[in-house]
Every structure is written in structure tokens, then in C-alpha cells.
Amino acid sequence: MPFDVRHPEIVQIVKHALEEDIGAGDVTSDACVPAWKKAHGRFVARAPIVAAGLELLPLIYELRGGGEEVALLRHSGDGVEPGDVLATVRGRARTLLACERVGLNFLQRLSGIATLARCYAEAVAGTKCRILDTRKTTPGLRRLEKMAAGAGGVINHRLGLYDAILIKNNHIAAAGGVRPALKRALATGLSVEIEVRTPSELDQALAGGARHLLLDNLTPSQAAEQVRYIAGRATVELSGGITLANVREYAETGADFISCGAITHSATAVDINFRLELE
């Protein structure tokens, strides 16, 4: 998912972030800095990271008032080193100060996700397995966080409950079993994945026409055994208890995908700062 910063949902997120932080006005900058003063600033990486969200910067300044000159020196997905300048901005000092924290909050959070995603993607390099993100995102920020995960090199799984079917254990219980749940889901014509927890559920799913299986909370040896049994009759996704320390072992079981919620729910904000100088 590319960084489509003109998507209405993204524009609304940025508007809300500015309103949340600035409100009726930046009273500190208005009190301390003359309205006529001009300045320029640099967004600088202070650690090795994968950048994400830089494309939001022109939108942030535009929504605050416009007239600022923004130059992006890096883009989402770029690996950068400490001291690298990611973007520069020039304009009214008050505006640059008012937008500083909103810009940094987006860059630090999204680059943290992209950096962790890249770690997972590189950990399984050379296997046939690909890493998927999940719906375990910050409420209201899903589209942005999935854009960041994609920039880091993982595959975006479904965006929400509306664009693909994933039958999990509670759906199976509510539907009355694997077969009725799968039959109704396949009739929709949508992409269908089903979680199976026992050998019996696995056999029922395959017999019912399942082509994408989710296996949850298995050890690597158990996962490898299940993958051998499935023998290509369906694609296999693994999840549950998978970390950077063991993801390679799971990928080498022959699974097609590994989904990892930690990419979005446990990513740490990275160190980026903003350096302002008066002109």
C-alpha cells in the first residue's frame, strides 16, 4: 500500500492531529516569536532506521496555513543512517514551530513500524515465506500504519473486516462448525481464509474447498508437520508466538505466510529530531 497522502482518510487524520495539538493557537510561539520572522528546519535521523511517513510533511504544513517550502530528501522505505537529513522546510518560524511535534509524531511512529517490518522481512529472506501485517493497529491510524508496514517490506493483509473473509474459531463456533462456516463464506465469492485448530478441523476445511489455511499457536516442529500433511493443497499462514528471534525457524517450515501483529502493536518510535535555525 503506497503512501497516498491525498486519501480523504489520511487528510482527516492529519487535520485531527493538528487540531489536537495546536487547538486555538500555539501560545508559546505566538508570545515569543515575531510574526515576520522566517526560519528553516531539518528533520534528521538519529539512529539507523527505515523512513516512513515523510510524504505527510507537505500536507501538514499546507493544512496549517500553506506557503512553506518542503523538500523531501528521502522517501518511505528508504534506509537511512544517523545524521542523514530526511527533509527540509522553510517558511514562517511560528508555523515551523507549531507543526514540529505533529510532524515528528507521525515520522517517529511510522518509521518505527517500517523499521520493525524491515527486520521481519529480512529475517525470512531466502525462504518462500512472506510476512503479513494484521489489524492490530492503533485505532484511527490503521491506513497509515499499514502504509508504514508496507514501506518496510511486508505484505498488507486485509485492511478491515470488509475486504476479505477470515474465519476464526469464534466464527466457526457461531456458525455451527467448519463446514457450514466455510460453505457460506465461499458462496460470497470473496477471498476466504479459515483458521483450523485440530486435525479434524483441518481435514474438514480441505474437504470443504479451503484454499488458505491459518494455523495458530504451533511450535515450529508442529507447523512443519502440518505443512507436510497439507502438501500444497492450500496455502498456509502461521501466527501466534512468533518473534524476531524465532521467525526464521517458522519460515523454514515451508509455510507460505507468517502474520505478525507486533509489527504495528509493538513497534517503538524511532529517534528523529527537528533542528530549526532563523534566517
pLDDT for 29-53, tens place per residue? 999 999 999 999 999 999 999 999 9
Judge contact between 106 and 53, C-beta under 8 A: yes
pLDDT, tens only, 129-146: 999 999 999 999 999 999
pLDDT score at 65: 83
- Catalytic-role residue among 21, 216, 249, 252: 216
- Catalytic-role residue among 195, 201, 237, 256: 195
For 173, phi then psi, to 5°, come to -65, -45
Whether residue 109 lies in the annotated active site: no
pLDDT, tens only, 175-200: 999 999 999 999 999 999 999 999 99
Judge contact between 174 and 38, C-beta under 8 A: no
Question: CATH 3.20.20.70: which residues of the chain?
Answer: 155-259
pLDDT score at 225: 97
Mean pLDDT of 231-247: 97
**Residue 206 — very low, low, confident or very high, per pLDDT cuts 50/70/90?**
very high
12 C-beta neighbours (distance < 10 Å), count: 11
Share of the chain above pLDDT 90, in %: 96
pLDDT score at 30: 96
- Catalytic-role residue among 15, 42, 90, 101: 101
Mean pLDDT of 72-94: 98
- What is the spatial distance between Cα 116 and Cα 182, in angstroms, rounded to a whole number? 34
pLDDT at 261 over 80: yes
Judge contact between 73 and 54, C-beta under 8 A: no
- What is the spatial distance between Cα 118 and Cα 99, in angstroms, rounded to a whole number? 28
Going by the DSSP 8-state scheme, the letter that residue 27 receives in this structure is H
Whether residue 271 lies in the annotated active site: no
pLDDT at 1 over 80: no
pLDDT, tens only, 150-177: 999 999 999 999 999 999 999 999 999 9
pLDDT score at 3: 76
Overall fold of domain 155-259: TIM Barrel (3.20.20)
**Residue 4 — very low, low, confident or very high, per pLDDT cuts 50/70/90?**
confident
pLDDT, tens only, 21-30: 999 999 999 9
Only one residue has cell 491506513, namely 143
Mean pLDDT of 239-248: 96
Overall fold of domain 8-121+268-278: Aldehyde Oxidoreductase; domain 3 (3.90.1170)
Whether residue 136 lies in the annotated active site: yes
Q: What number of CA atoms fall less than 13 Å from residue 218's CA on the CB side? A: 26
Whether residue 133 lies in the annotated active site: no
Strands 272-278 and 257-259: unpaired
Going by the DSSP 8-state scheme, the letter that residue 196 receives in this structure is E
Whether residue 216 lies in the annotated active site: yes
- What is the spatial distance between Cα 74 and Cα 271, in angstroms, rounded to a whole number? 16
Cβ-in-10-Å burial (0-12, 13-18, 19+) of 208 comes to middle
Cell, residue 122: 529480512
State the DSSP string of 246-275.
Answer: THHHHHTTT-SEEE-THHHHSPPPP-EEEE
pLDDT score at 90: 98
Only one residue has cell 457450514, namely 180
- What global pTM score does this model have? 0.96
pLDDT at 2 over 80: no
Q: Which residues contact 110 (CB under 8 A, 6 or more apart)?
A: 52, 53, 76, 144, 145, 147, 148, 151
